[in-house]
Amino acid sequence: YTVEINPQTVKACRTFLEYFGFDRNVVEVIEGDSTKFNLPEQADMIVSENMYTGLFAEPQMQIINNLRRFLKPNGKIIPEKFSSYLELVEAPGLTEKSVVRNEAKIPLKPATTRAQFDVVNFGRDEEVSRQGTVIIRATNNATIEAVNVSSVIDLTSQTRINSNTCDFLGQDELVRLATPILLKAGELYQVEIEYAVGCKPKDIKIKIEPAKKLRLDAAVPKKIKEEEDKKRVEFETSLAAIGSDI
């Protein structure tokens, strides 16, 4: 089965399959919403190609969370894992609130280290709301206009798509900051990012502040709730890792 919500794409798929001699007994194209659709039987494999950088723009997680209900025991999901990273960049002349990096057509210059802020395992239910906090180091004095978000897609444990390695999947996304930020070389900065899977990149919430001004206990209060305690541990681990490299 293949499920597609766009009627024009459904028609094109059927025409394509017919051209190559595949009838409905081989592949059945169904017009429907994959985030709600009920498959008529259990599946050996689920393949979802709605893979946009950072899990923006497309309801990738909502689709897999729904269709996973119909996966046979020991069945396979492609992709298996989705990891997201960020870095701060100089992007003078960027006017769009967000743009795919290879379409920006402006000079870009990374000004910080790159850090992973999220990882999704599609083998289990994941929250649609994503939050991440990372500590990164400024590599040079710079005026930052944007956050560059990149992704690494593990289709299987043996097959990986790194960022910007193909024309369609895994292209970096530039998200323009509302106000440019001055960075000082060698200083540490905390970046908080929050959004819902499938949102428009321009709707991402980003907060950046110098890490040296933060007290660990104050920045992430202990034992208030499980999620905040997890953030505290991630904060301390990131700070220790970066500090050892300086």
Q: Encode pLDDT of 83-115 as tens digits.
A: 999 999 998 888 888 787 767 778 889 999 999
The identity of residue 21, as a single letter, is G
Q: Which helix (H) or strand (E) holds 136?
A: strand 129-137
H helices within the chain, ranges in order? 7-19, 60-67, 101-104, 216-219, 226-243
**In the sheet that 129-137 helps form, which strands lie side by side, from edge to edge?**
129-137, 188-196, 205-210
Place of tokens 């305690």: 229
pLDDT grade for 216, boundaries at 50, 70 and 90: very low
Indicate if the pLDDT at residue 200 is higher than 50. yes
**Average pLDDT estimate for 55-79:** 91
Q: Give the tens place of pLDDT for each residue, 143-198.
A: 999 999 999 999 998 888 888 887 777 788 889 998 999 999 999 999 999 999 98
Place of tokens 């497309």: 58
CA atoms within 13 A of residue 55's CA, in its CB half-sphere: 30
The identity of residue 147, as a single letter, is V
pLDDT grade for 221, boundaries at 50, 70 and 90: very low
Q: Which of 156, 149, 155 is nearest to 171 (CA)?
A: 149
> Positive or negative CA dihedral for 225, 231, 234, 240?
negative
pLDDT of residue 217: 43
**Average pLDDT estimate for 57-79:** 91
Q: Which of 18, 165, 23 is nearest to 101 (CA)?
A: 165
Indicate if the pLDDT at residue 232 is higher than 70. no
Give the residues across from 152 on adjacent strands.
83
**Average pLDDT estimate for 67-74:** 91
CA atoms within 13 A of residue 204's CA, in its CB half-sphere: 31
pLDDT of residue 182: 94
For residues 146 and 118, the answer to whether their CB atoms sit within 8 Å is no
Residue 241, CA distances (Å) to 140, 198, 228 in order: 19, 31, 20
Whole-number mean pLDDT of the chain? Answer: 84
Indicate if the pLDDT at residue 224 is higher than 90. no
Token readout for 133 is 């906090």
What share of the chain has pLDDT > 70, as a percent? 85
How far is C-alpha 106 from the geometric centre of its chain's CA atoms? 23
Q: Report if pTM > 0.85.
A: no
Token readout for 203 is 């709707």
Token readout for 202 is 């321009």
pLDDT grade for 220, boundaries at 50, 70 and 90: very low
For residues 174 and 101, the answer to whether their CB atoms sit within 8 Å is yes
